[in-house]
Structure 1
Amino acid sequence: MPCLVRHTNHQEHDAGDFFSDAYTLAWCRVMRACPQVTFYAYTKEVRRFKRLIEPGPPENFLWVYSYGGREDSFIDPDRDRVADVFPDEDAITEAPEWSSQEASDLLAVLGPRLVGVPANRIPQFLKRMGGRRLSEWQAEIDAERAHRRQRHLRLAPNDPSAPAPTPEARASVNDAERHAA
């Protein structure tokens, strides 16, 4: 298979990710077929990479796990190479242990293990970030999802540890019982 990549360093997925096992393994075959090229990628597919890539990665493939996805809880910042989006360059400078990759995108995979990426200057995105790192914002979203799931999973009647139902929930149950009778 001829190598069609003409760069010595090739970033996979400027936007997007490794969306399936088959697709990820296909890229591994391309990487192994082009040993003269160093491939690198940011990914939020943490579980897929830990299962498929980490046990035996192509020698010319470097990756960094990106915070801000549904699999953030599977990232081990003490062991994994990690990227986080910060509100700006100053926020990265103020964060202990984090280094900026602003000088070169390759620093995300060749530099220190914890790398900060300044957010794109998109006003509505920066407003929603509210001065938080992307990992912090995602943690808030995950906590809110877990709280909603927990509210809907109370199955044991008269469970003393379960929070009392709200008046709206009681009214809804009463209406449902009335209509069922």
Structure 2
Amino acid sequence: MHRGAAETFDESADLVTLAVTPLVVVSAGAKSHVDVGATLERLETLTIPVLGYRTRRFPGFYVADSGHAVEHCADSSAEVAAAVAARDALGLRAALLVANPVPVADHLDSQVHDRTLAEALEQAREQGIAGHDLTPFLLDRIRRATGGRSLAVNIAVYRNNIAVATDIAHARRELSELSVALTAAVLFSRSRGE
């Protein structure tokens, strides 16, 4: 949900897609220039579960903590895999959003982030930049103001998300293999009259 979405109805089409697509999305959170609180409310309205990965704080992409809490968390990829299995067993159709913060060692300093974002938003307002032009404008201003540090954070976000998604996929496969083995054992036991 973009800032001011209550008046502009400017929200990402991704939210509606996530509400009807049963996949797992590993994300470092919403970009900091969106309305994170409204985004979390919209996710709840669309019944898209948010699961903090080793955190109870919703990440803010460039920063590990957006200032918003998450209600549920998982401490391991196996716990996420179990949540996915439960969702699938219940026949639920929404994606599971795994909120995976960028490691604190790699994130932007919160004060630098907040100051840089406020300045970029003010410049956008002064220049009348809005709508689909706002995001690239803000990202460019943040990149310039941080001397390219925000690009390094982007790379850390991608690497961390890929690592966590890979771990979840492996845990999901192991859980599926265990389920198949248990089902086979039960059917074998029944066929022998045990």
State the TM-score, normalizing by the size of structure 1: 0.30
Larger helix share, 1 or 2: 2
State the TM-score, normalizing by the size of structure 2: 0.29
CA radius of gyration, larger in: 1
Larger strand share, 1 or 2: 1
